[in-house]
Amino acid sequence: MWFNSFGFWMFFGVVALGCRMLSHRGQNWLLLAASYFFYGCWDWRFLSLILLTTAVDYTAARNVAGLESGHPGRKRWVAFSLVINLGILGAFKYFGFFVGELERLLQAIGFTGLSPVMKLTLPVGISFYTFQALSYTLDVYRGHTRPARRFSDFALYISFFPQLVAGPIERSAHLLPQVVDPRPRCDAARFRDGLFLVMSGLFLKVVLADNMAWLVTVPFSEPVERLSAPEVLLGVYAFAFQIYGDFAGYSAIAIGVAKWLGFDLMDNFARPYFALNPQDFWRRWHISLSTWLRDYLYISLGGNRGGKWRTRRNLLLTMVLGGLWHGAAWTFVIWGAIHGLWLVAHRIWAGWKPAQAKWLNGAGWKVLSMLATFHLVCLCWLFFRAESLDQALGLLRALAGEWRWTDYAATCSALILFFAGPWIALDAWIERRNESLALTLVAWPWRFGVYAYILAMMLFFPPPMPVEFIYFQF
């Protein structure tokens, strides 16, 4: 049930109407049932997994809170949560990868006739709701939040359907009180803000991402020896806009839909392609994951305590594991490692550069920094999108090869400018004014103009075929 499908909006209309007619407790029960129905539409068999995760962390957090600080049982309950949650995630997401790598290693040293590796279907959203459940237990252990009294409230916190399958990865201190306490009704202001988010998200997904998707298939499906450098470069540009439109679009729709139901979810994107350096990029891209990795992995590894070399090690390890979170493949590991090394290099540069150098604060340097950051991010996207490490390396060789302009390159460049250009221009204006999109376009004539443009683009330039949200596979 995709956000850009008629079926979803029929489902949401029934849920929203029901919530208008019910009390707070009745709304919670309806939202819980709707969330399980929504998840069951993907594969009803995996409802048992989300119920197991909910039961494990509800029990663990209640027991942690019931013991005095310093009691050894508190750590045992946290370990129980970690083992069960990461065990389930590892079994479904990484079992085949590690067994396959072991099989290849054994074959390389002479063992043959090994049994084929069993492949498990990956439950949609498992990486997202697992991290959300883990952060709850860890926050209770650290004293950052109180455990939920009602199991049903905690179950809704884990399974709330707008952000269940692809985030944002919410924190218990932010979302759980909105579940427990009475929520505001959808008044005119909430409807207006939610509508703008939903319309923006539909543009990013349907118009930008899905129209970029078919452009991306050319360099990532053709034999690399047939590709020219411009074809690879423009294909990577197209994927950069596809993944941004796809994921930021999902997040915007999720936040907008939740707002209509009385919930305020965290922002997940803040114009990431205007970042000036890798640290700035990760403050703007997939904010709920980057802050999760910082608070629960980087700090747990020691953070910036213990000297420069340990800080750099912790930063690199965090990003490698962040890459592995996206999928069990060497391409994701290398994607994370490149980002980690880049962050380490930036820290070294930030500690070395002369603070008094005025040219480092000039507009020209900022533009160069922005362009360099965008192109290094695109280099990382090449590994992220590649089907294998061999394909990624082949595309890199093609990128350094013949500079031959082709019909595909001309078409790709024109369509990127046509579909992404207006949004880039609008984002650039907002970035310069340092205002949120909703505040910038608060006047109704501006909003209606944007809505008319979005509807016209969706009507007259639909994608060749609907494309599943990219992050559903994670």
The reply to whether 57 and 196 lie within a common domain is no
Token pair listed for 86: 């990461």
Looking at the structure, tell me whether residues 386 and 274 fall in a common domain.
Answer: yes
Contacts 24+ apart (CB under 8 A), 447-453: 447/192, 447/196, 450/196, 450/199, 451/199, 453/422
Is residue 225 in some structural domain? yes
Give the pLDDT score at 362.
76
Q: Which of 163, 183, 203 is the last residue of a domain?
A: 183
Q: Token pair of 318, please? A: 């965090």
Whether residues 232 and 102 share a domain: the answer is: no
Listed residues 165, 183, 201: the one ending a domain: 183
Q: Which of these is catalytic: 326, 339, 346, 375?
A: 326
224 and 165 in a common domain: no
Same domain, 245 and 384: yes
Quote the pLDDT of residue 144: 93
Question: Does a structural domain hold residue 441?
Answer: yes
- For residues 144 and 80, membership in a common domain is answered with yes
**pLDDT for position 3:** 84
177, amino acid identity: P
Q: What is the DSSP letter of 220?
A: T
* Residue 286 CB partners (closer than 8 Å, separation 6+): 167, 247, 268, 269
What DSSP element (H or E) covers 396?
helix 389-399
- What SS3 state is found at 415? helix
The answer to whether residue 397 is domain-embedded is yes
Please check whether residue 178 lies inside any domain of the structure. yes
Query: In sequence order, what are the residues at sequence separation of 6 or more whose Cβ sits closer than 8 angstroms to the Cβ of residue 47?
Result: 36, 39, 40
Residue 326 is among the residues annotated as catalytic for this protein: yes
- Take residue 315 and report the two structure tokens written for it: 């930063």
Domain boundary among 151, 183, 215: 183
pTM of the predicted model, to two decimals? Answer: 0.92
Q: Is the dihedral of CA 34, 37, 42, 46 positive or negative?
A: positive
pLDDT score at 431: 76
Whether residues 224 and 116 share a domain: the answer is no
> Looking at the 3D structure of the chain, how many domains does it have?
2
Do residues 262 and 134 share a domain?
A: no
Return d(Cα 222, Cα 218) in angstroms, integer: 6
Burial of residue 451 (number of CB atoms within 10 Å: 0-12, 13-18, 19+): middle
Q: Same structural domain for residues 396 and 265?
A: yes
Amino acid, res. 239: F
Asked if residue 271 lies in contact with residue 283, where contact means CB atoms within 8 angstroms, the answer is no
Where the chain has pLDDT below 70, the residues are 99-103, 106-108, 110-119, 353-360, 434-444
Q: Are residues 219 and 173 in the same domain?
A: no
What pLDDT is attached to residue 430?
Answer: 77
- The token pair that represents 95 in the structure block: 């079992």
Instruction: Specify if 10 maps to a domain.
Output: yes
Residue 270 covered by a domain:
yes
Question: What per-residue confidence (pLDDT) applies to 179?
Answer: 97
Predicted local distance difference test score (pLDDT) of residue 70: 86
Q: Is 1 inside a domain boundary?
A: no
Q: Cβ distance 167 to 288 under 8 Å?
A: yes
Tell me the residue range of the domain where 295 lies: 189-473
Q: Are 32 and 160 in contact (CB under 8 A)?
A: no
How far apart CA 212 and CA 412 sit, in angstroms, is 9
Tell me whether residue 345 is in a domain.
yes
Residue with tokens 């492949």: 119
Same domain, 412 and 306: yes
306 and 258 assigned to the same domain? yes
Residue 86's pLDDT is what? Answer: 94
